[in-house]
């Protein structure tokens, strides 16, 4: 406003001679008339200014009858405890029409169509509701609406009001409560946001689907798309979207169901060390740590430790924890740190005991997720549309040679013992989906040459091994196998692939004092979430993702 005013005001002391439109000077009469008109204008403006000032003074002196109903609370240092019950935003629904409600939430958006009303959308967790603050005698003053209207997005407020059924479903795509809103009577700031603090993007914008953003481009209100890097650079803000709130509750659901299934079968949960004395498994892709005067290495998986737990007679074990990969892979499905869901089981007769357990575990997961997380899945799909995840009652299991045959018939060239490329995995996923109507399948009997040294060879054909991968929507989410549990065979295999036995002495020696035959697998938690929800990038399934270029926040 200051800029505009300066331009329309005539700078003092530089008064120019006025001229007629044809360029001739004004007559004295003309000058007198002009001066009189100017004087009249000045007097009018002076009067208006005086009225304005009187009004302001009056307003300032006016007792604000609502002053107890709004304002900024002091910084919460636990000064007092009233023990009042706070509601969840879920309670804002038509069936609670007329019910008083009291809760804390963030301001997502604010709109002031007239000085008499403020429309807010209030968000917490994966709920977002519409709220109205309207001037009302003895309750909501004009000072109060004016104050509320200037609160920036992301301000945390404590509000009091009444749930109110709405006649017509609320249209906004980012509001989750469609059939009711809140009529506000009190509003206090719990945690303020300075209007001067730049907001890299608005949570409301960050909640929209690509399709909605795309469609808005041809309207008079085009919506901004928020690039993933800007989101991740400001992850705390980004995580506040109802979509992200739902994604991480579903992520929690996946590990919870994994755990529930195993706990019901008497598995023991392990916490094995991430700091290792030697770079094991494979020499490459291990992070090195300065360890006092020496070095340590970060575990690439709990593989060796969970096998040692089997050699130590724990029988059925699992671990949920971080795994580290020092691979310079900058792809949508790789991270340098992710969450492994690992398990290992002593078998009695055959590794298919474990393969079946794993298949049943995933069946359980795919059965329970849509039941227990229906609301969360629906919220994620508003931003990331995906088809229902297809799983038949009977889990599909193929053997590697069958997959090679299917791929060759589909025009892919590959050797009998070649590993699948990412592209071939996708093609295979499509072929299996067409043939068996499933987005999930198990692939058994991988070639020995493309599996780690500790993989048990097939008893009949040593070119194949007792190993398997699981796939979701055509991408690998789990790898597993029967392991070599005999120290001599293990040493022989290590020799064949040039791994010095000395570096893994304790591991090999552990087997020398007897070890039950065993099999297991490792699941990438974020991959399961990513493919289940069709998020397109694994970083969206990790709260604070790490990749070769990202170590913060």
DSSP state of 12: T
- Hey, how many other C-beta atoms are within 10 angstroms of the C-beta on 408? 11
Write down the H helix ranges in 20-128: 28-61
User: Are residues 133 and 181 in contact, defined by beta-carbon separation less than 8 angstroms?
Assistant: no
121: part of which helix (H) or strand (E)?
Answer: strand 117-124
Report cis status (omega within 30 of 0) of the bond before 553.
yes
Closest approach of Cβ 318 to a second copy, in Å? 10
Dihedral sign computed on CA atoms, order 15, 18, 23, 24 = negative
Q: Structure tokens of 220?
A: 């008079």
Contact residue for a second copy among 128, 278, 404, 428 (CB under 8 A): 278
Q: Which residues between 182 and 201 bind a second copy (CB under 8 A)? A: 190-194, 197, 199
Per CB under 8 A, contacts with a second copy among 239-258 are 239-240, 244-245, 248-249, 251-252, 255-256
CB closer to a second copy out of 1 and 75: 75
Residues in the chain: 553
Minimum gap (Å) between residue 13 Cβ and a second copy: 44
Q: For residue 127, which phi and psi values (nearest 5 degrees)? A: -110, 140
Q: Is 350 in the site for a second copy (CB under 8 A)?
A: yes
HSE-up (13 A, CA, CB side) for residue 141: 16
Residue 156 contacts residue 108 (beta carbons within 8 Å)? no
- Write the secondary structure of 149-163 as one string of H (helix), E (strand) and C (coil): HCCCCCCEEEEEEEE
Give the Cα separation of 344 and 482 in Å (integer).
Answer: 9
Nearest to a second copy of 84, 168 (CB atom): 84
Residue 29 as a binder of a second copy (CB under 8 A): the answer is no
Beta strands in 483-526 (DSSP E): 518-524
Q: Exactly one of 66, 101, 106, 258 binds a second copy (CB under 8 A); which one?
A: 106
Q: How many binding residues for a second copy (CB under 8 A)?
A: 111
For a second copy, give the closer residue by CB, 123 or 424: 123
Q: Which is nearer to a second copy, 123 or 333 (CB)?
A: 123
CA–CA distances in Å: residue 298 to residues 152, 301, 346: 44, 9, 26
Q: How far is the CB of 466 from a second copy (least distance, A)?
A: 5
**Which one among 222, 273, 370, 392 touches a second copy, defined by CB under 8 A?**
273
Say whether residue 86 binds a second copy (CB under 8 A): yes
Q: Which is nearer to a second copy, 141 or 542 (CB)?
A: 542
Encoded tokens for 127: 């709920």
Pick the binder of a second copy from 42, 47, 288, 435 (CB under 8 A): 288
Q: Which is nearer to a second copy, 313 or 423 (CB)?
A: 313
Give the nearer residue to a second copy in terms of CB position, either 154 or 204: 154
Smallest gap from Cβ 470 to a second copy, in A, equals 18
The pairing of beta strand 180-191 with beta strand 156-165: antiparallel
| Residue range at the interface with a second copy (CB under 8 A); choices 92-100, 211-219, 275-283, 432-440 | 275-283
- By CB under 8 A, the residues from 445 to 504 that bind a second copy are 456-459, 466, 482, 485-486, 489
Which residues ranging from 294 to 323 are in contact with a second copy (CB under 8 A)? 296, 298, 305, 308-309, 311-315, 320-322
From 347, 361, 420, 528, residue interacting with a second copy (rule: CB under 8 A): 347
Residue 515 interacts with a second copy (CB under 8 A): yes or no:
yes
Using CB under 8 A, which of the segments 50-58, 71-79, 214-222, 400-408 binds a second copy? Answer: 71-79
Of the candidates 307, 299, 308, 294, which has an alpha carbon nearest to the alpha carbon of residue 281?
299
H/E stretch holding 366: helix 352-372
Q: Give the active site residues.
A: 325, 327, 333-334, 476, 479, 527
In the complex with a second copy, the residue whose CB is nearer, 58 or 82, is 82
Token pair, residue 144, equals 């109060």
CA gap 521, 452 in Å, rounded: 13
Q: Which is nearer to a second copy, 439 or 531 (CB)?
A: 531
Chain positions 396 to 415 lying near a second copy, rule: CB under 8 A, are none
Q: What DSSP state is assigned to residue 281?
A: S
The three-state DSSP-derived secondary structure of 199-232 is CCCCHHHHCCCHHHHHHHCCCCCCCCCCCHHHHH
Token pair for residue 530? 């990513």
Q: Contact between 9 and a second copy (CB under 8 A)?
A: no
Q: How far is the CB of 226 from a second copy (least distance, A)?
A: 15
Please tell me whether residue 95 binds a second copy under the rule CB under 8 A.
no
Tokens of 157: 């407020």
Min separation Cβ 497 and a second copy, Å: 19
Of the candidate residues 129, 358, 379, 525, the single one contacting a second copy (CB under 8 A): 525
* Contact track, a second copy, 141-180, x by CB under 8 A: -------------xxx------------------------
């Amino acid at each position: 406003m200051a800029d505009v005013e300066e331009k329309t005001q005539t700078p003092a002391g530089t008064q120019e001679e006025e001229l007629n439109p044809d360029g001739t000077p004004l007559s004295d009469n003309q000058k007198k008339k002009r001066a009189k008109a100017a004087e009249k204008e000045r007097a009018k403006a002076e009067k208006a200014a005086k009225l304005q000032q009187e009004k302001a003074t009056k307003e300032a002196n006016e007792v604000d009858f609502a002053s107890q109903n709004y304002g900024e609370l002091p910084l919460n240092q636990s000064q007092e405890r009233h023990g009042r019950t706070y509601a969840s935003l879920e309670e804002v629904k038509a069936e609670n029409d007329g019910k008083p409600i009291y809760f804390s939430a963030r301001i997502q958006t604010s709109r002031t169509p007239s000085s008499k009303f403020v429309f807010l959308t209030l968000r917490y967790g994966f709920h977002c509701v519409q709220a109205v603050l309207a001037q009302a005698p003895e309750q909501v003053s004009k000072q109060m609406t004016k104050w509320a209207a200037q609160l920036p997005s992301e301000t945390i407020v404590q509000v009091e009001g009444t749930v109110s059924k709405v006649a017509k479903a609320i249209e906004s795509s980012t509001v989750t409560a469609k059939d009711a809103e809140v009529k506000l009577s009190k509003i206090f700031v719990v945690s303020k946001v300075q209007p001067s603090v730049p907001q890299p993007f608005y949570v409301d914008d960050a909640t929209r689907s690509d399709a909605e953003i795309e469609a808005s481009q041809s309207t008079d209100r085009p919506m901004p798309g928020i690039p993933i890097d800007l989101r991740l650079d400001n992850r705390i803000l980004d995580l506040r979207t109802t979509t992200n709130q739902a994604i991480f509750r579903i992520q929690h659901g996946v590990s919870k169901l994994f755990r529930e299934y195993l706990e019901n079968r008497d598995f023991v949960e392990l916490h094995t060390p991430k700091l290792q004395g030697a770079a094991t498994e494979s020499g490459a892709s291990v992070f090195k740590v300065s360890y006092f005067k020496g070095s340590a290495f970060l575990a690439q998986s709990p593989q060796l430790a969970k096998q040692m737990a089997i050699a130590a007679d724990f029988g059925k074990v699992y671990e949920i924890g971080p795994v580290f990969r020092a691979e310079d892979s900058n792809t949508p499905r790789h991270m340098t740190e992710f969450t492994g869901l690992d398990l290992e089981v002593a078998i009695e007769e055959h590794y298919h005991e474990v393969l079946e357990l794993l298949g049943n575990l995933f069946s359980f997961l795919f059965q329970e997720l849509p039941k227990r997380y229906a609301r969360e899945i629906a919220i994620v799909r508003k931003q990331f549309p995906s088809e229902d995840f297809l799983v038949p009652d009977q889990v599909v299991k193929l053997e590697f040679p069958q997959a090679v045959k299917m791929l060759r018939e589909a025009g892919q060239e590959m050797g009998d013992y070649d590993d699948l490329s990412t592209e071939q995995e996708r093609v295979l996923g499509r072929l299996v989906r067409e043939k068996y109507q499933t987005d999930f399948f198990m692939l058994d009997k991988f070639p020995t040459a493309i599996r780690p040294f500790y993989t048990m060879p097939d008893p009949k054909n040593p070119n194949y091994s007792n190993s398997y991968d699981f796939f979701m929507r055509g991408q690998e989410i789990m790898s597993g196998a029967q392991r070599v549990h005999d120290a001599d065979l293990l040493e022989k295999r290590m020799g064949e692939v040039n791994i010095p036995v000395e570096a893994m002495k304790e591991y090999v020696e552990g087997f020398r004092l007897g070890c039950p035959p065993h099999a297991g697998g490792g699941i990438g938690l974020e991959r399961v979430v990513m493919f289940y929800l069709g998020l397109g990038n694994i970083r969206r399934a990790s709260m604070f993702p790490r990749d070769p270029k990202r170590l913060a926040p």
